[in-house]
Structure 1
Amino acid sequence: WSLGLLFQELFTTYEQVRSGRLPAESESTSFRDYIAWLQRQSLEPAEHYWRKTLRGFTAPTPLPGALPRSPDSVLRRQHLNVWLPAQLTTDLQAFVRQHHLTLNALVQAAWTLVLSRHTGEQDILFGATTSGRSAEVSGIEHAIGLFINTLPVRIFVDEDATALSWLQQLHTQQLELRQFEHTPLTHLQRWSDVPRGTPLFESLFIVENFPVDAAVNSASAELGIRDFSAREQADTPLEAYVIPGDSLELRLLFDAARFEPSTPERLLRHWSVALQALISTPDSRLGTLSLVTGEEREQVLRSFNASSRRFDSSCLHLQFEAQAVLTPDATALSFGDVSLSYRHLLQRVRRVSHRLQSLGLRPDAPVGLFVHRSADMVAAMLAILHAGGAYVPLDPDYPSDRLSWMLQDSRAPF
């Protein structure tokens, strides 16, 4: 904001000198006036507001999809951005006008939804920069100085609320916060329930609502800036930027050491989808709004589920026998101190199976299996299957009446 004002003043002064006129003295508010106003503000109302706002919040909202912080890692800043289609930008602006909201509230709400869905949290808190130019200070919009401040924004995602009612609530919340946007962040940390030494937030939300290039281009017909770039360095691992224009720009600055490359790309996609969902179905419950793109939905429903496999359709005891042929000396069964190879277990199975068949066991006939959990239990289960029967588990710890009823009901002959 100040940079744009500075260029305007520079170019205007240059034009005045070129035309032979003395540069007019600036009558704008000075930074000293703002400091004087700031010193007159009582912190008591601000403390009451912020203690109430931050009450019960004890840990920063997790970073979506972030990798653990390495003690020796160095901050490596990268950025990704996307421009929304011009028509969607127009639709967003029309929506906020129709419902008496602000673009800031709408885009911030969409970002909150993204954080909520990716972290599984409903109580979301992130930092947001404010211009700090209080309307109570006359002419402050034309003053040059470091007015900017960073404040915590705490938003509860009520899945049962309609999108529109939730947006209206956020708009009201923003208006209330503006009365106390001059509060120093160090005070807020002390007034919160977050332990000392733990940051209130690890992500920032920033709206750049005063483009420098627009300010410069309107300042002079003779002079202009051909190339403009800015380098920003912050200590937060994730920053979400919104740059208004004919096509709204969404930008993420992130620590490349903390995020896989696909994570910021997915966050940007879901942010765009969230904006579209909020204005397309304002009467829908928040819990029903999907942030999944069509391509991702196809991936989940089709690609990830392309898991068909051919399985051996033979009976379990036949598969066991086949494995015994392949690995006869490998361990097939362990229980406590007992360990049996496939060869020895198969011998037990066949012994019991032949005994059952010699007693006249018919195919599919039930056989009561009255035994505690043991190696013998597994051998007996396989033997009953091998003999062509079906086992009926009879837990020896069951009451005798229940066991009698199970035997009668199953009509097990053995």
Structure 2
Amino acid sequence: MRENIQDIYPLSPIQHGMLFHCLHAPEMELYHSQSVYTFSGNLNIDAFKYAWQQVATRHTILRTSFYWEELDKPLQVVHQQVEVPVDHQDWQELDPLEQQERLKSFLESDRSRRFDFSQAPLMRLTIIQIQEHTYYLVWSSNLLILDGWSYLLVLNDVIEIYEAYCQGQDAPLRNGSCFKDYIKWLKQQDLSKAEEFWRQQLNGVKEPTPLTNLYPNNLPNLEERYEDIQISLSEVITRNLDALARQHHLTMNTIVQGAWAILLSHYSGKNDVIYGCTTSGRPVDLEGSESMVGEMVNTLPVHVKIDLDEYLLSWLQQLQTQLIELREYEYYPLVDIQKCSKVLGNVPLFESFVVFENQKTGNFLQEWGSLNISEQTSYYKTNYPLNIVGYPGSELTIGINYDFRRFDAATIMNILEHLKILLEGIVTNSQVRLKELLLLTEQTPHIKILMLDKEMSLNLDFALTN
């Protein structure tokens, strides 16, 4: 109702793209984010519900819905008040195996429940009690309103308010974030300058780097399904890799992206590759952007040239410089970035992208106050077939979220092993040229994988180390 409307303003470019994809392919459950937390403690359910309600009051994006019918451009509407749906279920009578089966079924059912974008809030929560003091928390939302960093900000606020409530205290008063400030900032940016930058970046790009022959399944008529596989480096290798990065002023994100770029070049037989990466989208010149709750992440193309005669460290430093330059123009919409290339509009600019999670994501598992969290799993789906995720920690973990219709598990495991070999090789042979780094992968038991370039269609030996 009109009296419940607080504000109306346009969408950000990334929101506009997400809404477009969601509306045109509703059956695909795109941009549905689902996180499951396992925690223990003496949970005060009323206090927990209260905390979530207060957080929605604090942040405008959690009270936002979207309208597009009969409009030239969609708008987002901030409501004065919303009710955050928090359901409570008791599964204590089920044995552990039944609980796991029921959880699996519940999560699949929850993901199939589509959000009505015209109704706020675009999130829901379910508390599932499995023992006297043990619970699952299932938090579902749409990425239209929250990116990964925002998840952490919201959870921090929830726990802060919850702890204060349980102790009979008022939560510290803080001004909540207004996503409209980010929309205003976007309107002030120089789009022509950004367009020129991206034209230079994508000069010569005529097609996405192909992964076609890595699709042994190739089952387009199969029901869509995404799977996840992960692999971890040892603590020693992780520690040494981190030390190497600090010594040469590199980030772990750059090193992981570099490893993927090298491998992508090797698979495709091309020395000119393109993949996607995600950036925080939080501009340094926008006051309060680090504490702003909303969808600010953007997906950008990374166009990399691989010269096998270059030395590894200098090449990685060049890549890092390139990634820093991309941040200056990360506000430019991906749909417009693609127009700066020669890739046809109906063809994705890239088929794989790399995400490196922030260190704070892992640390947050120990920061639930009186509630002890023991595990977190997350699910989200994009429209890219191969998504590589780096998770920092005492053991660097690399995960791949992939389209099961195109890849099989064995192929994905091979890719992960190849990435592991390259990362271990960077630690032990950092002074070599790129071609020498690749040669290191051929010195131990072999994995066969087919090169993508049809003119170079041959089996190459890859090393598999334990």
Taking structure 2 as the reference length, what is the TM-score of the superposition? 0.61
SS state at 1:78 partner: strand
Provide the residue aligned with 2:331 in structure 1.
182
Give the length in aligned residue pairs: 301
Amino acid in structure 1 at the alignment position of 2:286: V
Provide the residue aligned with 2:421 in structure 1.
273
**C-alpha offsets along residues 219-277 of structure 1, whole Å, 9 cap, x if unaligned?**
52x13445432221222111111000110001111122212432111111110111122
Q: Are the aligned partners of 2:274 and 2:301 in contact in 1 as well (CA < 8 Å)?
A: yes
Q: What is the aligned counterpart of 1:50 among 173, 177, 198?
A: 198
Give, in angstroms, the shift of residue 68 of structure 1. Answer: 7.5
Q: Are the aligned partners of 2:233 and 2:396 in contact in 1 as well (CA < 8 Å)?
A: yes
Amino acid in structure 2 at the alignment position of 1:24: P
**C-alpha offsets along residues 124-154 of structure 1, whole Å, 9 cap, x if unaligned?**
1011111111212222212211111111111
Q: Are the aligned partners of 2:353 and 2:386 in contact in 1 as well (CA < 8 Å)?
A: yes
**Alpha-carbon separation, structure 2, partners of 1:191 and 1:4:** 34
1:158 corresponds to 2:313:
no
Uncovered stretches (5+) of structure 1, i.e. residues with no partner? 306-414
**Alpha-carbon separation, structure 2, partners of 1:31 and 1:263:** 41
Give, in angstroms, the shift of residue 66 of structure 1. Answer: 2.2
Give, in angstroms, the shift of residue 70 of structure 1. Answer: 4.4
Give, in angstroms, the shift of residue 42 of structure 1. Answer: 1.5
Provide the residue aligned with 2:412 in structure 1.
264
| Counterparts in 2 of 1:299 and 1:54: CA distance versus 1, 3 Å | closer
Provide the residue aligned with 1:107 in structure 2.
256
Give, in angstroms, the shift of residue 71 of structure 1. Answer: 4.4
1:93 corresponds to 2:203:
no
Provide the residue aligned with 1:168 in structure 2.
317
Amino acid in structure 1 at the alignment position of 2:233: L
Structure 1's consecutive aligned runs of 4 or more residues displaced over 3 angstroms after TM superposition are 67-71, 210-213, 224-227, 297-300
Q: Are the aligned partners of 2:312 and 2:430 in contact in 1 as well (CA < 8 Å)?
A: yes
**Alpha-carbon separation, structure 2, partners of 1:261 and 1:6:** 34
Q: What is the aligned counterpart of 2:167 among 6, 12, 19?
A: 19
**Alpha-carbon separation, structure 1, partners of 2:383 and 2:437:** 33
Taking structure 1 as the reference length, what is the TM-score of the superposition? 0.68
Provide the residue aligned with 2:120 in structure 1.
none
1:130 corresponds to 2:275:
no
1:41 corresponds to 2:185:
no
Q: Are the aligned partners of 2:362 and 2:392 in contact in 1 as well (CA < 8 Å)?
A: no
Supply the RMSD in Å over aligned alpha carbons.
2.4
| Counterparts in 2 of 1:82 and 1:71: CA distance versus 1, 3 Å | closer
SS state at 1:254 partner: strand
Q: Are the aligned partners of 2:198 and 2:340 in contact in 1 as well (CA < 8 Å)?
A: yes
SS state at 1:57 partner: coil
**Alpha-carbon separation, structure 2, partners of 1:288 and 1:227:** 40
Q: Are the aligned partners of 1:238 and 1:253 in contact in 2 as well (CA < 8 Å)?
A: yes
Amino acid in structure 2 at the alignment position of 1:236: Y
Moved more, 180-189 or 205-214: 205-214
**Alpha-carbon separation, structure 2, partners of 1:68 and 1:58:** 26
**Alpha-carbon separation, structure 2, partners of 1:299 and 1:198:** 29
More helix by proportion, 1 or 2?
1
**Alpha-carbon separation, structure 2, partners of 1:299 and 1:223:** 47
Give, in angstroms, the shift of residue 212 of structure 1. Answer: 4.1
**C-alpha offsets along residues 348-407 of structure 1, whole Å, 9 cap, x if unaligned?**
xxxxxxxxxxxxxxxxxxxxxxxxxxxxxxxxxxxxxxxxxxxxxxxxxxxxxxxxxxxx
**Alpha-carbon separation, structure 2, partners of 1:293 and 1:85:** 21
Amino acid in structure 2 at the alignment position of 1:18: C
**Alpha-carbon separation, structure 1, partners of 2:323 and 2:447:** 38
Higher relative contact order (CA 8 A, sep 6+): 2
Amino acid in structure 1 at the alignment position of 2:426: L
Give, in angstroms, the shift of residue 98 of structure 1. Answer: 0.4
Give, in angstroms, the shift of residue 28 of structure 1. Answer: 5.3
Q: Are the aligned partners of 2:217 and 2:408 in contact in 1 as well (CA < 8 Å)?
A: no
Q: Are the aligned partners of 1:80 and 1:265 in contact in 2 as well (CA < 8 Å)?
A: yes
Amino acid in structure 1 at the alignment position of 2:154: L
Q: Are the aligned partners of 1:7 and 1:216 in contact in 2 as well (CA < 8 Å)?
A: no
Q: What is the aligned counterpart of 2:157 among 2, 9, 15?
A: 9
Give, in angstroms, the shift of residue 69 of structure 1. Answer: 4.3
| Counterparts in 2 of 1:259 and 1:224: CA distance versus 1, 3 Å | same
Provide the residue aligned with 1:206 in structure 2.
355
Uncovered stretches (5+) of structure 2, i.e. residues with no partner? 1-148, 450-459, 462-466
**Alpha-carbon separation, structure 2, partners of 1:249 and 1:106:** 13
More strand by proportion, 1 or 2?
2
